Structure 1
Amino acid sequence: MSRPPGDARGSARPRWAGPLESLALLTVMPVPARAAAGTRGVLPWAPLVGLLLGGVATGIAVAGTRLVSPLTGAVLAVAVLAALTRGLHLDGLADTADGLGPLRGRERALAVMHQGDVGPFGVVTLVLTVLLQVAAAAALLATDSGWAALWTAVLAARLAMTRTGLPGLPAAEGSALGRSVTGTVSSRWWIALLLASAAAVGALAAGDRVLAGALAGSALAGLGAAELLLRRARARLGGVTGDVMGAMAEVTAAVTLLVAAAVVP
């Protein structure tokens, strides 16, 4: 894989600073403060975090399915992902839904998103998205290869977040996280991540070309949905925020699972 992007200080950073920074912000895993003192590695290494989270969630989902039922496994998978990410992505989804709701200008939308409470539009969006994720995951876990789709959805969700770090994508006014990660993902690194992710999906399919194609198509559908959300956010907010990144992850996971439930053999 090509070298991840960095600024002029990149050579002075510890070798594993990037992955540790990504783990520190995107998970509850304890990471030494000195080893993850910045944010430049958060988005470039997010897909790696996705692979790890996907493995944990999938293992728990399969165990719940075998011990109780596919629905139990699906609920446990969504719950453990929320716990391992501090619920930040779900919170971002709710805040983004409130901000992108109808009848609001840019300043008003950003102000709403910066508030700590969640409005009715955000609550409805959050509930329906989680229900969709659980329902689709339950349908998938009832099949022999459904676990691979769940793992793929978690990976694709982090790929969607990484996309927000590509050059040319501005941060919304007042977004500290958006400013700190803007331009941290080079085009070459993004292409390398896509190829590596495709290889990971192929490995999950274990040589089954039909399954691999279904998984890849589902992930592309999820990434396409996230792109539509990003365009809406840019038009309304003027750029990306941390909440938008979280919302893109949750939307990607939901759409990937939904499409996979329809096409995975």
Structure 2
Amino acid sequence: MSTTPAPSALHGVRFAFGTLTVLPVRVHRWDRAAARGGMLCAPLAGAVVGALSAGLGLLLLFLGAGPLLAAVAGTAVPAVLTRGLHLDGLADTADGLGSNKPAEDALTIMKQSDIGPFGVITLVLVLAAQVAALAEAYGDSWARGALAAVVAGTAARLALTLAARTGVPAARPEGLGAAVAGVVPVGAAAGTVLGVTALAALCGAALGAYDAVRAAVAVLAALAAAELLLRHCLRRFGGVTGDVFGALAETAATTGLLIFALGR
């Protein structure tokens, strides 16, 4: 049996799927090179999550369900495939930001196992917005709803690629945030953004020119919203954490879905 080491690109794919999903992928390397590859492959993991979300939504529509039920199922899939870690990170980040305490105290609040009022309110509003927006997209057509699910899932993880760029520090010396903070060169992050945006537009073009533009705008708007949150977190916490990455993903996904619900 061959014992040839797996190519470094494969380690990046494993890192992305092994850390960002619950899919049965074993991560063999946790060094900075694997983390860099993993964060560059994060949109690929997001596309798979989005495709599975769209698949369940389309199955329910085929079986006679309405757009709302398809949207609820489509929103549940990413939560299940991440064990709710991104939603948990969103809630913890909301509690940390809402506490209005100094960075060290806010980070301590975020590490606690319970969820405070800011976290609960944020979770309810974000999930409601995701379901409502996806239901609007499915109400337009099954194809537009599926496109929205895939684009949102991809953009959510693309936001993590951008947040892991060089120059963005970790708020703590341990945890996932420290493992991936600053691992992606700025040029590589920018190239990934351009590539994903172009692919989103290409997929949207299958439905028409308007959907091509909307898909591209959805990606860029998702990244812009995540970037605003990232900069706020950097000011408040002094860096990123695993919770902040989760919050960025949910913010990007929600924004992307909202773009598909507008301008019908």
Q: What is the TM-score normalised by the length of structure 1? A: 0.90
Judge conservation of contact 2:87–2:247 (CA < 8 Å) in 1: yes
Does the alignment pair 1:51 with 2:47? yes
Residue 30 of structure 1 aligns with which residue?
Answer: 24
> Unpaired segments of 5 or more residues in structure 1?
1-10
> Unpaired segments of 5 or more residues in structure 2?
none
Residue 15 of structure 2 aligns with which residue?
Answer: 21
2:93 to 93, 96, 99: 96
Judge conservation of contact 1:93–1:246 (CA < 8 Å) in 2: yes
Q: Give distance in 1, aligned partners of 2:203 and 2:127.
A: 24
Judge conservation of contact 2:54–2:145 (CA < 8 Å) in 1: no
Q: Give distance in 1, aligned partners of 2:98 and 2:92.
A: 10
Does the alignment pair 1:60 with 2:48? no
Does the alignment pair 1:113 with 2:110? yes
Q: Give distance in 2, aligned partners of 1:14 and 1:225.
A: 32
Residue 3 of structure 1 aligns with which residue?
Answer: none
Q: Give distance in 1, aligned partners of 2:102 and 2:149.
A: 37
Farther off after superposition, 120-129 or 60-69: 60-69
Q: Name the aligned partner's letter for residue 108 of structure 2.
A: A
Q: Give distance in 2, aligned partners of 1:142 and 1:74.
A: 10
Runs of 4+ in 1 over 4 A off after TM superposition: 11-15, 36-39
Map residues 40-189 of structure 1 onto 2, 5 A cutoff: 40=35, 41-67=37-63, 68-144=65-141, 145-189=144-188
Q: Deviations over 1:171-224 (max 9, x none)?
A: 103443222112221123212212321232123214422111111112222211
- The alpha carbon displacement at 1:15 in A equals 4.2
User: For this pair of structures, how many residues does the alignment match?
Assistant: 253
Query: Aligned residues: percent identity?
Result: 43
Residue 218 of structure 1 aligns with which residue?
Answer: 218
Farther off after superposition, 190-199 or 81-90: 190-199
**Secondary structure at the residue paired with 1:172?**
coil
**Which one has a larger percent helix, Structure 1 or Structure 2?**
2
Q: Name the aligned partner's letter for residue 113 of structure 2.
A: G
Residue 197 of structure 2 aligns with which residue?
Answer: 198
CA RMSD of aligned residues (A): 1.8
Farther off after superposition, 79-88 or 144-153: 144-153
Q: Give distance in 2, aligned partners of 1:18 and 1:42.
A: 4
Judge conservation of contact 2:11–2:38 (CA < 8 Å) in 1: no
